[in-house]
């Protein structure tokens, strides 16, 4: 009979594998948009089925662990973290599908995608990669670095919206494509949000601390209320 620790180790392997799977999906989605590669976009849509399957398997395997009578706090946090991260990864995969479906839409891609979008998209892929690394290694410092980068992504979005408005006004960017670009930008931004959620869970798991977001920016982790 498998012990709690054996099952937890298997779950950790599964969630890390799911993280790699979702990272690959998000990367292919962004690449398909950069290159106008419809075949790659179709592979993203098809790959989401495997993410959904593993998502259900991880959830089903997590629930029985909480019924094994474990009382050690970090062990309980470990299971809860896996459940929450699993949900975040599934939502990231959905965002990747949204991007891929935009590539497969009837809206023609312009000859040149705004440079700031490329920087924003590549930065968010980097956030996801680092969030996965932080989760796998229990690296709270790396997790905090991902949190701090969220404000930079917001600035990229503001610059992109301003650039798109200027290009639409000058006739350099078709209106229908500008709306599509806004939709994809929102998907990229949501991926960044899910990455910060994952990193909050990494900090909670390994430090027992809850990170709270304040208007002036990310604060130091605060201990949970008694």
Among 177, 12, 181, 143, CA closest to 81: 12
Neighbour tally for 3: CB within 10 Å: 9
Q: Rounded CA gap, 134 and 32, in Å?
A: 27
Beta-sheet pairing, 213-214 with 217-218: antiparallel
Which of 3.30.429.10, 1.20.930.40, 1.20.58.220, 1.10.150.530 would CATH assign to domain 4-218?
1.20.58.220
What does residue 217 show for φ and ψ, rounded to 5 degrees?
125, -175
Q: Rounded CA gap, 163 and 114, in Å?
A: 8
Q: Rounded CA gap, 29 and 41, in Å?
A: 6
List the chain pLDDT tens, one digit each, 226 residues: 478 999 999 999 999 999 999 999 999 999 999 888 999 999 999 999 999 999 999 999 998 998 888 888 888 999 999 999 999 999 999 999 999 998 898 666 655 677 888 899 999 999 999 999 999 999 999 999 999 998 889 888 888 888 778 877 887 777 777 778 888 999 999 999 999 999 999 998 887 766 655 444 444 544 544 4
Total residue length of the chain: 226
Query: How is residue 138 annotated by DSSP?
Result: T
For 139-192, the DSSP string reads: -HHHHHHHHHHHHHHHHHHHHHHHHHHHHHHHTSS-HHHHHHHHHHHHHHHHHH
């Amino acid at each position: 009979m498998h012990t709690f620790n054996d099952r937890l180790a298997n779950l950790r392997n599964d969630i890390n594998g799911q993280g790699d799977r979702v990272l690959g999906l998000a990367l292919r989605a962004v690449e398909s948009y950069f290159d106008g590669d419809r075949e790659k976009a179709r592979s993203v849509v098809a790959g989401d089925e495997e993410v959904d399957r593993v998502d259900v398997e991880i959830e089903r395997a997590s629930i029985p662990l909480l019924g094994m009578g474990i009382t050690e706090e970090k062990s309980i946090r470990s299971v809860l973290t896996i459940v929450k991260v699993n949900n975040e990864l599934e939502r990231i995969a959905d965002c990747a599908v949204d991007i891929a479906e935009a590539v497969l839409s009837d809206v023609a891609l312009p000859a040149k995608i705004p440079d700031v979008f490329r920087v924003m998209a590549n930065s968010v892929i980097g956030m996801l990669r680092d969030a996965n690394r932080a989760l796998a290694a229990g690296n709270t410092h790396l997790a905090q670095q991902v949190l701090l980068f969220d404000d930079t992504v917001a600035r990229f979005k503001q610059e992109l919206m301003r650039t798109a408005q200027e290009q639409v006004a000058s006739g350099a960017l078709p209106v229908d494509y500008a709306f599509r670009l806004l939709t994809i930008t929102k998907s990229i931004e949501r991926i960044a949000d899910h990455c910060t959620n994952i990193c909050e869970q990494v900090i909670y798991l390994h430090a027992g601390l809850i990170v709270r977001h304040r208007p002036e920016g990310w604060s130091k982790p605060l201990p949970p209320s008694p």
